[in-house]
């Protein structure tokens, strides 16, 4: 496709980053607003992007994100969370549970939604650029993936999780997740048709 000059693929969390997050969590649990703000800045948009990709609605995604951070804040405020280097996995587990709850609620409401329509509605940026059009097609193509494969793709690219973290989160072997990811990429490439190879050359 060749859309990116410098793709930012998710990186595994380093020990330094883990220590930094642990320090922020400890400070936030003692009421340090700056530390809490920092945590929101690090994870807020990642959770939002993941939720938006699942729900396809920005308002619901923000509700879910608020609910996730409310859970985390409540847990920290009551001293109910002990950091053991797995904050990110726990945070995203809370997020995934909230998202699933929201999806179930949406299904109960029987709001008719045609997956194809999500990608069919042109956004401002898709009108603006060829890259935007390609990304809109990619977004629509993702809707055709099996749910398990789509989940891995979204956690990886919208939530910016490493496979190791995903393995902890989903309680699945690393190899299984890698296989799912590759299968999803192949399927997406197939759906996107010849545009990928054309873009590459």
What does the alpha-carbon distance between residue 72 and residue 55 come to, in Å, rounded to a whole number? Answer: 21
Nearer to another protein, 76 or 99 (CB): 76
What does the alpha-carbon distance between residue 46 and residue 96 come to, in Å, rounded to a whole number? Answer: 12
Residues 114-143 that bind another protein (CB under 8 A): 125, 131, 134-135, 138-139
| Contact mark string toward another protein, 146..165, x via CB under 8 A | -------x--xxxxx-xx--
Instruction: Give the one residue of 60, 99, 169, 188 binding another protein; rule: CB under 8 A.
Output: 188
Q: What is the SS3 assignment for 115-153?
A: HHHHHHCCCHHHHHCHHHHHHHHHHHHHCCCCHHHHHHH
DSSP 8-state assignment for residue 14: P
CB of 119 to another protein, least distance (A): 11
Instruction: Give the one residue of 104, 105, 107, 186 binding another protein; rule: CB under 8 A.
Output: 186
DSSP 42-67: HHHHHHHHHHHHHH--HHHHHHHHHH
User: Among 157, 158, 177, which Cα is nearest to 166's?
Assistant: 177
Q: State the residues that interact with another protein by CB under 8 A.
A: 1-4, 7-9, 11-12, 28-31, 33, 36-37, 40-41, 44-46, 48-49, 52-53, 58, 62, 65-66, 69-70, 72-74, 76-79, 125, 131, 134-135, 138-139, 153, 156-160, 162-163, 174, 178, 181-182, 185-186, 188-189, 192, 196, 199-200
């Amino acid at each position: 496709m060749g859309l990116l000059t410098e793709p930012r693929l998710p990186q595994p969390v380093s020990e330094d980053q883990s220590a930094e997050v642990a320090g922020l969590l400890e400070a936030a649990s003692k009421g340090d607003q700056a530390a809490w703000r920092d945590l929101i800045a690090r994870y807020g948009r990642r959770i939002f992007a993941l939720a938006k990709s699942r729900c396809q609605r920005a308002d619901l995604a923000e509700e879910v994100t608020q609910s996730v951070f409310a859970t985390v804040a409540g847990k920290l405020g009551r001293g109910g969370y002990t950091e053991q280097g797995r904050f990110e996995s726990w945070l995203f587990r809370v997020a995934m549970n909230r998202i699933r709850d929201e999806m179930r609620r949406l299904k109960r409401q029987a709001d008719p939604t045609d997956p194809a329509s999500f990608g069919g509605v042109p956004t401002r940026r898709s009108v603006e650029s060829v890259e935007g059009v390609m990304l809109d097609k990619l977004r629509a193509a993702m809707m055709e993936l099996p749910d398990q494969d789509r989940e891995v793709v979204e956690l990886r690219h919208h939530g910016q999780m490493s496979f190791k973290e995903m393995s902890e989160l989903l309680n699945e072997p690393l190899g299984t997740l890698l296989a799912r990811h590759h299968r999803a990429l192949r399927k997406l490439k197939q759906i996107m048709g010849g545009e990928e190879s054309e873009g590459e050359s």
